[in-house]
Structure 1
Amino acid sequence: MGARFALGRPGGKTMKDHTMQLTGHITADSLMSLEAYSKWRKVHKAEVMAHRKRRTVHLGEHITLNFESETTMRYQIQEMLRIEKIFEEEGIQSEIEAYAPLVPDGSNWKATMMIAYTDIPERQRELARLIGVEDRMFVEVEGHQRVYAIADEDLDRETAEKTSAVHFLRFEFTPAMRAAIRAGAAVKLGCDHTHYPAHVQVPAEALASLAGDLA
């Protein structure tokens, strides 16, 4: 696809070429053209995957939290535009509206939570037993009270029969908690659902990255 298909906005502005710019606010103007992104991802995809891996925390055998960032969400949006070959403004804005809310905004961490069971009958059984599990996820900063997740703010992802295998969580911190995290306090991730009691210390590498999300 040639440069003439660079994504644009009214007034003659075009999306930035050749670099993924972190601006704190994802807009169409700050995304790359399809052509520029295709070139960029060949060089930088491994870096984004490493960034994502650093921010992934496993809780027990079946729950994983991917803590999102502007980098992971810009990558997700650009990937969707690339895969779907979206270059019209309405489609671009739709992808931004779907994923930009998952960028942390200085007082919180935001995460994609995934529940995984390889055996299908077991997965069906456990998703039925784990109704409400997303609301029992917590982060505990050393010396402070637990912060429970605010889950699925865009739409409800469970029914009366089962919970979803994917949830979106927000952990909101007080100024004192944020200061403690930035100062190096230990942080625990946990769940106190009756059928999935678990907790884990957030690894140092992940915590160093996550501390950067907090203003």
Structure 2
Amino acid sequence: MQITGNITPDSLMSLETYSKWRKANKPAVMAHRKLRSVHLGEHMTLQFESETTIRYQIQEMLRIEKIFEEDGIQQEIDAYAALVPSGSNWTATVLLEYPDVSERKRELARLIGVEDRLFVEVEGQKRVYAIADEDMDRENDEKTSAVHFARFELTPAMCAAVKAGAAVKLGCDHTAYPAHIAVADDTLASLASDLK
């Protein structure tokens, strides 16, 4: 997969090339995705995105939908491009996971606004709260969505601290879902590679 820092139609593989590439490389991409997944409490997972995960997602959508025309390819790029970290932030797909339908309905009603209460805290720095769902509102007066998209903007000092080895805590201070966790060293090393 060609990592360029900018996803364009020309930097993506054709459907045929991707099909061959996928067979050999899917396990490595899944391992990368797993490394960048952080479970926050019992029912929330943040999947921190990277150019690799977003390229893979776009290529998968093109493969599944059999999209090969330039307009369609550009639409897929536009749909996902904002999730590629820019060098001063981390982006994540946030999943609220309740396998039981009744429990999910009840909890999503209690968790309205949870996406705005997510934070990262770099050791020695102030908390940075998520900028959530910039593409569209994903909740209403009755419930929140089970999927959100979050961006955590870091200051230059925070980026430098992370790259120098500072610990990072991920948390949520929503009254119905208080949770926090120290980001594991191997995950943090991967996230640090996103920062300039």
Whole-angstrom CA distance in 2 between matches of 1:188 and 1:132: 20
Correspondence list, 1:27-176, <5 A: 27-176=8-157
Q: Which amino acid aligns with 1:183?
A: A
Question: CA offset at residue 108 of structure 1?
Answer: 0.1
Whole-angstrom CA distance in 2 between matches of 1:31 and 1:120: 38
**Aligned equivalent of 2:163:** 182
Q: Which runs of 4+ in 1 moved over 4 A?
A: none
Contiguous gaps of at least 5 residues in structure 2: none
Greater C-alpha radius of gyration = 1
Q: Which amino acid aligns with 2:66?
A: K
Give deviations 1:160-190, integer Å, cap 9, x for gaps.
Answer: 0000000000000000000000000000000
Report the RMSD for the aligned CA atoms in angstroms.
0.4
Whole-angstrom CA distance in 2 between matches of 1:29 and 1:189: 36
Whole-angstrom CA distance in 2 between matches of 1:178 and 1:142: 11
Aligned residues: 196
Question: CA offset at residue 101 of structure 1?
Answer: 0.9
Contiguous gaps of at least 5 residues in structure 1: 1-19
Whole-angstrom CA distance in 1 between matches of 2:120 and 2:7: 27
Provide the secondary structure at the position in 2 that maps to 1:118.
coil
Q: Which amino acid aligns with 1:167?
A: H
After TM superposition, the score normalised by the length of structure 2 is 0.99
> Which structure exhibits the higher relative contact order, with contacts defined as CA atoms closer than 8 Å and separated by 6 or more residues?
2
Give deviations 1:130-176, integer Å, cap 9, x for gaps.
Answer: 00000000000000100000000010000000000000000000000
Whole-angstrom CA distance in 2 between matches of 1:136 and 1:183: 27
After TM superposition, the score normalised by the length of structure 1 is 0.91
Whole-angstrom CA distance in 2 between matches of 1:31 and 1:119: 38
**Percent pairwise identity:** 76
